[in-house]
Amino acid sequence: MRLVHVVGARPNLMKLAPVYRAFAAVPDIEQSVVHTGQHYDLNMSDVFFQQLGLNSPDVNLHVGSASHAKQVAEIMVRFEKVLSDTRPDLVLVYGDVNSTIAAALVCSKMRIRLGHVEAGLRSFDRSMPEEINRLLTDQIADFLFTPSEDANQNLAREGAPAEVINLVGNVMIDSLVRMLPACQMHLPPNLPSHFALVTLHRPSNVDDLPWLDEMLQSLAQIAARLPILFPVHPRTKERMIGLRDGWPSALRLMEPLPYLAFLALEQQATVVITDSGGIQEETTYLGVPCLTIRENTERPITVKIGTNILVGRDQKRIRDQVEQIISGIRKKGKIPPLWDGHAAERIVEVIHRLV
């Protein structure tokens, strides 16, 4: 069987790695990786390939940053040629980025079977580009691989046939489980004994400059009580220019980090403050309190049984929640079912049985 994996952003790489590895152990599987180049710089992609034990991608489409429409269109045009040349039996796409829906549309037009890894997640907020990507990809895909039971319920409610829905667990946790023993060797130097870890990157947050300015002031206030490590996403860094010149020393702005260093910080953090999707899952597995700066989440299981709390964009609520965690009041969570490090193996079993 000829299999093509499509990735476009670094969260995709953590999902790809265990699946690629699991298929590599199966005879008669010829697999290749297409990187669309949707996100591409050393810390955002290359180092992730190295640390996750992946070879460089077989094909890089070098699409780069652009508007949503232009990016999707460019990926479709370039990926169509790849499929015309390779004619795979199956394409696997991951997550909810523009690369995911672009590749899915091309597969649908060319009548090539498609599997969606991390299917069924819903925020029910159609103002999010990722939500549209998730909805449309799941309508197109021939195989839907879900991380949790709520995702199955979403797909069933939308009319997906039961035979295409496969609850396999969370492949991102597969990578975490495998890499966790090695991550402590990658801790950045001179860490405080207790700290908050912050990530911000969503356009709905960082493109709102008055809110971003207020958020940075809130972080400066929190840093007076609990030191903060803040790896700054390139988009956020650009938006921060001119907002403020100086920061307290306890608010440590950092370059984006490779996977192992960031994972080590997550494990050590007193609290993680984020607007990311995957970090909600990682902190739930690690048992670390997570405050998600969004009004909704496509990963409600991290709120229902995990360590995640949705705090919205309310600055006072964010500061109050951090204060509670500092004082020892923290949410107790559990690891969701099938988040056990073997999701990729279940994907291989399903495809081996059905393809």
User: Are residue 144 and residue 221 in the same domain, yes or no?
Assistant: no
pLDDT of residue 206: 96
Report the share of the chain in percent with pLDDT over 90. Answer: 86
H/E/C letters for each residue in 148-167?
CHHHHHHHHHCCCCHHHEEE
pLDDT of residue 49: 79
User: Are residue 347 and residue 305 in the same domain, yes or no?
Assistant: no
Residue 264 lies in a domain: no
User: Are residue 122 and residue 211 in the same domain, yes or no?
Assistant: no
Strand stretches in the chain, DSSP E:
2-7, 30-35, 59-60, 90-94, 113-117, 143-146, 165-167, 196-199, 228-231, 251-254, 271-274, 290-292, 308-310
What confidence tens digit (pLDDT) does each residue in 53-64 have? 888 899 999 998
- Residue 42, pLDDT > 50, answer no
User: Are residue 302 and residue 210 in the same domain, yes or no?
Assistant: yes
pLDDT of residue 208: 95
pTM of the model: 0.94
- Residue 248, pLDDT > 90, answer no
What value does the mean pLDDT of the chain take?
94
Question: DSSP string spanning 205-270?
Answer: HHT-HHHHHHHHHHHHHHHTTS-EEEEPPHHHHHHHTTT-S---TTEEEE----HHHHHHHHHH-S
What confidence tens digit (pLDDT) does each residue in 48-99 have? 778 888 888 999 999 988 888 999 999 999 999 999 999 999 999 999 999 9
Residue 333 lies in a domain: no
User: Are residue 152 and residue 193 in the same domain, yes or no?
Assistant: no
Q: What is the mean pLDDT of residues 5-23?
A: 94
What confidence tens digit (pLDDT) does each residue in 281-320 have? 999 999 999 999 999 999 999 999 999 999 999 999 999 9
Residue 332 lies in a domain: no
What confidence tens digit (pLDDT) does each residue in 170-195 have? 999 999 999 999 999 999 989 999 99
User: Are residue 55 and residue 176 in the same domain, yes or no?
Assistant: yes
- Residue 271, pLDDT > 50, answer yes
Residue 96 CB neighbour total at 10 angstroms: 28
Residue 331 lies in a domain: no
Active site residue 201: yes
- Residue 232, pLDDT > 90, answer yes
User: Are residue 140 and residue 195 in the same domain, yes or no?
Assistant: no
pLDDT of residue 44: 55
pLDDT range class, residue 40, cuts 50, 70, 90? low
Radius of gyration over every alpha carbon of the chain, rounded to an integer in angstroms: 20
Residue 263 lies in a domain: no
The set of residues, in sequence order, having a beta carbon less than 8 Å from that of 51 and lying 6+ positions away, is 179, 258, 259, 260
Active-site residue identified among 5, 39, 201, 233 = 201
User: Are residue 212 and residue 240 in the same domain, yes or no?
Assistant: yes
Lookup result for tokens 């699946």: 19
Domain residues for 35? 2-181+339-354
Residue 11 lies in a domain: yes
The number of domains in the chain is 2
Q: How many CA atoms lie within 13 A of 324 on its CB side?
A: 13
Cβ proximity of 277 and 301 under 8 Å: no
User: Are residue 276 and residue 142 in the same domain, yes or no?
Assistant: no
234 vs 164, more confident: 164
Instruction: Please choose, from the candidates 233, 243, 176, 226, the residue with its C-alpha nearest in 3D space to the C-alpha of residue 199.
Output: 233
User: Are residue 95 and residue 147 in the same domain, yes or no?
Assistant: yes
Report the share of the chain in percent with pLDDT over 70. Answer: 97
Instruction: For residue 166, list its beta bridge partners.
Output: 145
User: Are residue 165 and residue 242 in the same domain, yes or no?
Assistant: no
Residue 313 lies in a domain: yes
Q: What is the mean pLDDT of residues 143-158?
A: 98
User: Are residue 10 and residue 152 in the same domain, yes or no?
Assistant: yes
The CATH number that applies at residue 311 is: 3.40.50.2000
